[in-house]
């Protein structure tokens, strides 16, 4: 185990590395040629102009103003200038709620560190147990940990009392934050601009009808059961194959543009090969080859488009149904439409950019089977794979598995992936590092032990792994932050596109890759650092400053990125917060169980009885918060819906809602190409209590 001096040297080296990253970031972001990489959000909004449009040749590419390099850290205070309400308007509630997780880390771990250093560190340091053991190798960090307290000592009651203090403080912070985030979500929903998903419900498992098409059956059902509020609907088409053709055609067009630009520069006809990657196969003229391939794909695309629009089998038994008011949509989304609970299933429609169209084509009956299959795969096969691949590949694999489960929105997929990724970080990084051996060996060890012995096995290993986790935080944490702020991969890709594919300003706009806030992979890593802080707060407090530094610097970096870089893929109104809250409490519960196991190995009389109320209190707190706040994240109150409807009718009496919703939920491959005729009712039909039907009965 490394001693305190070695850890100090390592920390100093990491601080120097961090300073080097900041200098590199300052140099890169100040260059005019990189301006679109580090400020893409402002370009996309038309607020920022390229500094390359003016100045002499050199200054269009390189910043020669030495005064700007002196203030290379001015981006940090700039990240705090935008107030939270303005930041919500600028970046969305999802982004603001996400960066609050780092702030919660500071609010929880900061006071815990102060208390631990004031109370627990002196208790541990003066234990003098390690000094009295002959032939025992130890270091200064061990003397600061609970390992330096003699077995059976009454000093352990200080740790027990402080564990209650730590838990109560964590409860307080999490309660206040849950309450605040719930209030922010309600305010956001009440004040946000009109969106199609406020009026729309996703209806799945539409039952078959022998006399009517799917579209006619849906219209008939809602005109009968929602005669005063139904407005229109858009059936879902299985256009997955068409979407692949469109994507492949776009890729070929990029290659065509690349070779055509190359020909214009050199006046020499470029050559490519017809095989894989253009490196194997017959040599052909590149421009003619890709022009021919694009023509073939265009013809195949036209045929597939016609097939999708004319083949009844291409229509999925699902639809986006829109209503005349938010109130009516809320009623439909939150009630059972049929006496048969397995048909006419409704849920709030995701916002249009949040829809994961590929999974809408999955029959609803298949979803349950798929999720059972994925769960079995995870439990039985994936742990062996995880041991043989890099963790960097794990999120991609887990996302593929989440897509198989059939979720209909990107936000649902991200939340599902975050849950899986958190579980594997917990098992393979945390538990896998504490207990030596493979995951299967750990599992066998646990299976052959009584349940009460498992916390002991894990707990007694915790103090010995403190330096490992300190190193892990410094290496993994700083590497992640550096990659996030330097954006080297987007930087290289942008310049390659700019060199070979860009011909117009529009092309240059499309070449920018602002990226997005990847909640599914970032949040589980935050949870791991939370877990380390909670576990080691009562065991080896010297780890806590490293967690605090990580949270502090991450908060500044991600606030800067949210303001200047990231583009939103979707907006869910912070709907992921209940998952964040639950995983934080799981970390707290694990820390309590491990402390119980550790103290049980220290011959502390009645320690288990003294600590037993803690996990019970934690579970009760979770149940209380879930009942108190979670409804704000899964339901929309009829009172708030009616308020927004009334206000909108008063301010916009001539609003044509049908025109506003007409193309909102049309599959992206059809947008701008084909006009879908939605059911259009004349005024007399809207007021008619009789519903036309083609049924023979």
What pLDDT, on the 0 to 100 scale, is given for residue 584?
96
Interval 137-163 mean pLDDT: 80
pTM of the model: 0.84
Q: Which helix (H) or strand (E) holds 534?
A: helix 519-536
How do 283-285 and 230-237 pair as beta strands?
unpaired
Distance CA 421, CA 523 (A): 9
Q: For 512-529, what is the mean pLDDT?
A: 89
Closest by CA to 357, choosing from 419, 321, 416, 403, is 403
* C-alpha distance from residue 250 to each of 36, 306, 580 (Å): 23, 19, 38
For residue range 433-443, list pLDDT tens digits in order. 775 443 444 44
% of the chain with per-residue pLDDT over 70: 82
Closest alpha carbon to 470 in 44, 13, 91: 13
Give the per-residue pLDDT at 696.
Answer: 58
> What is the arithmetic mean of pLDDT over 280-292?
88
- Cβ-proximal residues to 695 (8 Å cutoff; 6+ apart), any chain: 209, 211, 212
Residue 236 makes CB contacts below 8 A (sequence gap 6+) with 315, 316, 318, 319, 320, 360, 361, 667
CA 474 to CA 467: how far, in whole Å?
Answer: 11
Please count the other Cβ atoms lying within 10 Å of the Cβ belonging to residue 345. 16
114, two tokens:
């102060």
Q: Report the range out of 277-291, 381-395, 448-462 with the highest average pLDDT.
A: 277-291
Domain spans, the chain: 4-193+406-635, 196-350+646-670
| HSE-CB of 6 using CA atoms within 13 angstroms | 10
CA 602 to chain centre: 41
- CB burial readout 113-139, b (16+ within 10 A) else e: bebbeebbbebbeebebbeeeeeeebb
SS3 104: helix
Q: What is the pLDDT of residues 9-46, one digit of tens each?
A: 767 777 787 788 888 888 888 888 888 888 989 888 88
What is residue 75's three-state secondary structure? helix
pLDDT of 690 reads: 57
pLDDT band at 52 (very low <50, low <70, confident <90, very high): low
Judged by average pLDDT, the poorest of 253-262, 441-450, 570-579 is: 441-450
């Amino acid at each position: 185990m490394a001693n305190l001096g070695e850890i100090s040297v390592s920390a100093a080296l990491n601080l120097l590395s961090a300073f080097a990253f900041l200098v590199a970031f300052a140099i890169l972001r100040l260059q005019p040629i990189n301006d679109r990489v580090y400020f893409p959000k402002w370009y996309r909004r038309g607020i920022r102009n390229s500094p390359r449009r003016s100045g002499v040749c050199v200054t269009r590419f390189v910043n020669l103003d030495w005064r700007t390099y002196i203030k290379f850290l001015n981006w940090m205070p700039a990240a705090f200038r935008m107030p939270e309400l303005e930041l919500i308007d600028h970046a969305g509630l999802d982004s603001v709620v996400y960066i609050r997780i780092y702030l919660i880390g500071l609010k929880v771990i900061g006071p815990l560190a102060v208390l631990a250093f004031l109370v627990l560190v002196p208790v541990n340091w003066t234990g003098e147990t390690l000094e009295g053991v002959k032939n025992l190798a130890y270091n200064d960090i061990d003397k600061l940990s609970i390992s330096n307290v003699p077995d059976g000592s009454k000093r352990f009651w200080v740790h027990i009392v402080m564990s209650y203090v730590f838990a109560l403080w964590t409860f307080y912070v999490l309660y206040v934050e849950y309450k605040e985030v719930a209030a922010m979500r309600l305010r956001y929903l009440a004040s946000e601009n009109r969106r199609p998903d406020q009026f729309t419900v996703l209806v799945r498992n539409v039952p078959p009808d022998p006399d009517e098409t799917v579209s006619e059956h849906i219209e008939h059902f809602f005109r009968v059961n929602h005669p005063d509020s139904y407005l229109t609907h858009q059936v879902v088409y299985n256009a997955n194959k068409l979407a692949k053709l469109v994507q492949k055609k776009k890729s070929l067009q990029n290659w065509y543009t690349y070779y055509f630009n190359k020909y214009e520069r050199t006046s020499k006809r470029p050559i490519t090969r017809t095989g894989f990657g253009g490196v194997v196969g017959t040599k052909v003229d590149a421009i003619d080859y890709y022009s021919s391939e694009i023509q073939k794909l265009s013809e195949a695309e036209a045929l597939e488009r016609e097939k999708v629009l004319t083949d009844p089998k291409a229509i999925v038994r699902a639809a986006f149904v829109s209503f005349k008011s938010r109130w009516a949509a809320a009623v439909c989304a939150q009630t059972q439409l049929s006496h048969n609970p397995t048909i006419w299933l409704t849920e709030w429609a995701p916002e249009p950019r949040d829809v994961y169209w590929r999974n809408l084509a999955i029959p609803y009956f298949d979803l349950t089977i798929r999720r059972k299959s994925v769960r079995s795969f995870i439990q039985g096969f994936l742990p062996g794979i995880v041991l043989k691949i890099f963790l960097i590949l794990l999120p991609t694999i887990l996302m593929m598995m989440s897509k198989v489960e059939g979720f209909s929105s990107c936000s649902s997929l991200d939340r599902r992936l975050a849950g899986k990724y958190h579980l594997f970080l917990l098992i393979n990084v945390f538990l896998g590092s504490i207990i030596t051996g493979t995951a299967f060996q750990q599992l066998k060890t646990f299976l052959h032990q009584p349940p009460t012995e498992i916390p002991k096995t894990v707990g007694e290993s915790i103090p010995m792994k403190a330096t490992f986790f300190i190193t892990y935080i410094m290496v993994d944490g700083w590497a992640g932050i550096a990659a996030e702020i330097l954006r080297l991969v987007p930087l290289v890709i942008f310049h390659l596109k700019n060199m070979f594919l860009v011909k117009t300003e529009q092309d240059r706009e499309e070449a920018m890759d602002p990226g997005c806030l990847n909640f599914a992979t970032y949040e589980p890593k935050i949870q791991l650092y939370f877990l380390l802080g909670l576990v080691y707060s009562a065991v080896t407090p010297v780890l806590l400053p490293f967690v605090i530094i990580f949270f502090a610097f991450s908060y500044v970096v991600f606030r800067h990125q949210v303001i200047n870089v990231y583009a939103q893929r979707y907006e869910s109104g912070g709907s992921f917060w209940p998952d964040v809250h639950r995983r934080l409490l799981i970390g707290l519960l694990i820390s309590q169980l491990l402390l119980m196991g550790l103290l049980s190995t220290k011959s502390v009389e009645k320690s288990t009885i003294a600590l037993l109320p803690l996990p019970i209190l934690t579970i009760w707190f979770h149940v209380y918060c879930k009942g108190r706040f979670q409804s704000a994240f899964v339901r929309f109150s009829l009172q708030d819906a009616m308020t927004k409807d009334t206000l909108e009718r008063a301010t916009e009496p001539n609003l044509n809602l049908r025109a506003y919703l007409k193309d909102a939920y049309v599959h992206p491959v059809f947008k701008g190409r084909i006009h879908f005729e939605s059911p259009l009712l004349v005024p007399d039909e809207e007021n008619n209590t009789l519903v036309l039907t083609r049924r023979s009965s």
